[in-house]
Structure 1
Amino acid sequence: MSAPGATSEKSNLFAQPKAVYAVAFACVVSFMGIGLVDPILPALSSQLDATPSQVTLLFTSYLVVTAVAMLGTNWVSSRLGAKKTLITGLAIIVVFAALAGLSDSVGGIVGFRAGWGLGNALFIATSLAVIVASASGGFAGAIVLYEAALGLGIAAGPLVGGLLGSISWRGPFFGVSALMAVALVATVVLLDPTPKPVRPTPLSAPLKALRHRGLLTMALTALLYNWGFFTMLGYAPFPMELSAIQLGFVFFGWGLLVALFSVVGAPRLQARFGTARSLYGALGLFAVILLLIGLFTDTRWVLVACVVAAGIPIGINNTLTTQAVMLVSPVERPVASAAYGFVRFLGGGLAPFAAGKLVEAFDVHVPFLLGAVTVVLAVGVLATGHRMLEQADAGLDEDGHPAGEHGGPEDVAGEVADEFGGAPAAIDGEVEAELTRRR
């Protein structure tokens, strides 16, 4: 995340090595996969004679496999090296996205989405470290670039899915496969070989990391929040009763707000109110939006307006929770990211399928009302770590002492450099100044 007032990182954002652009492009396409299937969910349900709960398994298989695979991504990347791990993940996505497009049954698509999730886990676990290690402009500039790629992918995914889905429900799958193939070639050609880390990561490292209270608090908060988030993302398209292209534009508007408030809104709120209070506000607003969706599910314009507006709290929350995980965790960043991803993706994966079953058992309002409750519970869990987050904002550890080993951008850069076997990455002067200001 960009620090407030850090202008040099922004000015250097686009003056990057070709390898950074190759990985950033792959990030855009990878994050497109999250919302890509949203516009075609109703079409899949009607054309393949499947119930909504069966169709939502496209989210469940993808995200649950991603969650479980996150536990092993550091073990793999620390033995193969970053470039080979990226290439492996991209190749898996290319193959399984194409196979999903060739499938003639919901069961087949669900299975191939699971394979897609495995490739996605390998890719997303490594891409940020590669960008941080390769980008110019320091750590903060690299994070802004990564967040920009994430936001663009989330915004473009539903629109591309709607445009291609208006031709055929197979279109979005073939589209991702083709774009990822381009990203694969670019990564192979433009990214220099990366040496293996000096110290391979144990397979048990992410689960052991969850013993730390701060990381576990943030992970459980994210699990509850993601239950509400993916309930909306995975089931809201059905009661809207719109065409694929119309759904694409609705979620494109949502994605634009996610991108805007991830990169611009979240840093400003954090600078003014701090991480904890900004997250309380974002989660509280999202709970209200889910409550409105649950109460007015049958009123299309309210449903559409609420889904688009949800991009505001989701963008804020995505950036600040990810940063908070890095701030409060005492373990290496890749390990913390894997542990956090494992827990939060489990919530995201189970929620859409549960929503379909709740609609079948009760009515269409229930899953969204339950989502609002889980987000309120997320606020409660987060509140147990309020002091921890305030200390992290101030650059202090849990005991109130200056953070040492994992206290700032220079430490992250050193970790990334160590992961790739090189010297510590250069840190921009303004990033150091911002770190000093926060401490």
Structure 2
Amino acid sequence: MVEGKIELKEKDGILKSLLHQPKPVWAVAFSCVVAFMGIGLVDPILKSISEQLHATPAQTSLLFTSYMLVTGIVMLFTGYISSRIGAKLTLLIGLVVIIIFATLGGLSQSVGQLVGLRAGWGLGNALFISTALATIIAVSSGATEKAIIMYEAAMGLGMSVGPLLGGALGSITWRAPFFGVATLMAIGFVAIIMLLEPIPKPKVKSKFWGSLMALRHKGLLVTGLTALFYNFGFFTLLAYSPFLMEGYSAIQVGLVFFGWGVLLAISSVFVAPRLEEIWGTKAVMIGALAFFAIVLIVMGVGANHSMVISVCIVIAGFFQGINNTLITSAVMVVSPVERSTASSAYSFIRFTGGAIAPWLAGSLAVWFNPHVTFYVAGLAVIIGILVLFIGRKALVALD
């Protein structure tokens, strides 16, 4: 009984730290929610886009590849940019770019145009997301860990609401979700202008290649490579699994990913901190990655059964939420460089993994079969576990 009261008290503490934040944090967090909505927004409409624009699943999956590849590369330089023009202006420029390319995406006439415009969307996303994490840490009240939980909560909410919104609007037309994100981003733009005061620029400016040079630090490199292989599995699930949900409407696909996102948000905010306190960061990360790999392998076995795919997607969200929070926290702890630089370097590596997965997932299904697609994804996550285990000595700061 006492243990239950202690656990409830800890959860209340997390809730209070999230709810009692300054208005600028909420403005940035709202925009983060919308930014992360953009990642999963296209999930429910992938089949509609494929059919109406006469594209193969592999071609349609390039919507993720172009978006993630540009996001990852540009993130190498966001620390350099924000340290010179300021975090607020960097956030606002990122939002404007997203608004423009999301709107144009809704007007696309071919899958090639849409892939290119998603790349432009990724440019704005890179400027915004990488800067947003450092901004939330800078203006939030409480410890860095609480600020990261706030950021991960925004990610989880965005990941869950994105597919649901995409499914609801996509049932009207596949173009509607793009216009919906542009509208919400415009609201976020106004909120940040009104509520976020200019953040002082750092006294020491980030170097142009600062983020890339930061990867010489073994702790940051180990966490980054772990994230690369993890995100390969993450975006295989996100980008390819909708094609295996035979007979599902856009709204039904959206509801499946909504359940996935809800579990992701709950586990990232409440479960991850608790497990980390009991068993430590590295042990919990290895456990979460191992269970996620198992889920991907089960998806490979049951690739011909829509119900198996649907259930596994939702279950995967629980383990992904735990890993998302812990690996982001680990990056901020193990790195000796500025947080914005560490965030940019880490994001470059993990988004590169996210960029490769969607194209390769569709291609593997064509070359072999959908079973192989998920077996390879599970193997990638297992490699991530091995990287984390082999490089554990570089992560002593986590202990």
TM-score of the aligned structures, taking structure 2 as reference length: 0.95
Select which of 30, 41, 49 maps to 1:44.
Answer: 49
Q: Distance in 2 between matches of 1:97 and 1:107?
A: 15
| Cα 1:42/1:99, change in 2 over 3 Å | same
Q: CA–CA distance in 1 between the matches of 2:143 and 2:297?
A: 41
Deviations 1:176-225 (A, max 9, x none): 00000111111112212233322221111111111111111111111111
Q: Which has the larger radius of gyration?
A: 1
One-letter identity of the residue aligned with 1:14: L
Q: Check 1:137–1:274 CA distance in 2 against 1; reply closer, same or farther (3 A cut).
A: closer
Structure 2 counterpart of 1:432: none
Q: Does structure 2 conserve the Cα–Cα contact (< 8 Å) formed by 1:33 and 1:157?
A: yes
Partner SS for 2:204: coil
* Aligned partner (choices 219, 227, 232) of residue 232 of structure 2: 227
Could you tell me how far apart the structure 1 residues matched to 2:373 and 2:13 are? 45
| Structure-2 change in CA distance of 1:67 and 1:302 (3 Å) | same
Please give the residue correspondences for 1:22-421 in structure 2 after superposition, counting only pairs within 5 Å: 22-241=27-246, 242-389=248-395, 391-394=396-399
Q: How far apart are 1:229 and its partner, in Å?
A: 1.1
Distance 1:369 1:140 in 2: 34
Deviation at 1:172, TM superposition (A): 0.8
Deviation at 1:8, TM superposition (A): 5.2
> Deviations along 1:340-389, whole A, 9 cap, x unmatched?
11111011111111111111111111111100111111111110122343
Distance 1:137 1:277, change over 3 A: closer
User: Deviations along 1:18-68, whole A, 9 cap, x unmatched?
Assistant: 222211110110111111100000110111100001100100000000000
SS of equivalent residue, structure 1 residue 13: helix
- Aligned pair count reads 390
Tell me the CA shift for residue 9 of structure 1: 5.9
Provide the C-alpha distance between the structure 1 equivalents of 2:56 and 2:260, rounded to a whole number of angstroms.
26
Separation in 2, partners of 1:139, 1:9 = 13
**Equivalent AA in structure 2 for residue 73 of structure 1:** T
For residues 385 and 103 of structure 1, the distance between their equivalents in structure 2, rounded to whole angstroms, comes to 45
Secondary structure of 1:49 counterpart: coil
Task: State the Cα distance separating 1:7 from its structure 2 match.
Answer: 6.0
Task: Report if aligned partners of 1:26, 1:180 keep a CA contact under 8 Å in 2.
Answer: yes
Alpha-carbon displacement from aligned partner over 1:239-282 (angstroms, at most 9, x marks no partner):
11211000000000000111011111111111111111111111
In structure 2, do the counterparts of structure 1 residues 239 and 9 end up closer, same or farther at CA, with 3 Å as the change threshold?
A: closer
Range moving further from structure 2, 113-122 or 133-142: 133-142
**Aligned residues of 2:149 and 2:268 also touching (Cα < 8 A):** no
Listed one character per residue, the Cα deviations across residues 72-119 of structure 1 (whole Å, up to 9, x for unaligned) are 101110111011101100000000000000111111111111011010
What code does the residue aligned with 2:284 have? Answer: S
Q: Which runs of 5+ in 1 are unaligned?
A: 395-439
CA contact (8 A) 2:39 2:159 kept: yes
The SS at the match of 2:19 is coil
The whole-number CA distance in structure 2 between the counterparts of 1:387 and 1:197 is 31
CA pair 115-194 structure 1, distance change in 2 beyond 3 A: same
Report the Cα distance in structure 2 between the residues aligned to 1:179 and 1:125, rounded to whole angstroms: 19
Which of 11, 15, 24 pairs up with 1:19?
Answer: 24
**Counterparts in 2 of 1:98 and 1:373: CA distance versus 1, 3 Å:** same
After TM superposition, the structure 1 stretch with the greater mean CA deviation from structure 2, 126-135 or 273-282, is 126-135
- CA, structure 1 residues 276+137, in 2 after alignment: closer, same or farther (shift >3 Å)? closer
Q: Distance in 1 between matches of 2:255 and 2:377?
A: 24
Q: How many Å separate the matches in 2 of 1:323 and 1:192? A: 26
Corresponding letter in the other structure for 2:352 = L
Shift of 1:132: 2.1
Shift of 1:6: 8.4
Report SS of the residue matched to 2:258: helix
Give the 3-state SS of the residue equivalent to 2:325 in structure 1: helix
Q: Does the CA contact (< 8 Å) of 1:9 and 1:138 recur in 2?
A: no
CA contact (8 A) 1:9 1:137 kept: no
Normalising by the residue count of structure 1, what TM-score does the alignment of the two structures yield?
A: 0.86
Mind listing any 5+ residue stretches in structure 2 that lack a counterpart? 1-8
SS at match of 2:199: coil
**Structure-2 separation of matches of 1:6 and 1:243:** 37
Report the Cα distance in structure 2 between the residues aligned to 1:373 and 1:129, rounded to whole angstroms: 32
Q: Is the 8 A contact 2:152 2:324 kept in 1?
A: no
Distance of 2:171 and 2:251 partners within structure 1: 6
Question: Percent identity between the aligned chains?
Answer: 55
Q: CA RMSD in A?
A: 1.5
Asked if the contact 1:9–1:140 (Cα under 8 Å) also holds between the matched residues in 2, the reply is no
Query: Distance in 2 between the 1:270 and 1:387 partners?
Result: 18
Instruction: Map 1:420-431; keep pairs closer than 5 Å.
Output: none
| Equivalent position of 2:4 in the other structure | none
| Contact kept in structure 2, 1:74 and 1:334, CA below 8 Å | yes
CA–CA separation in structure 2 for the residues paired with 1:304 and 1:7: 32
Partner of 2:5: none
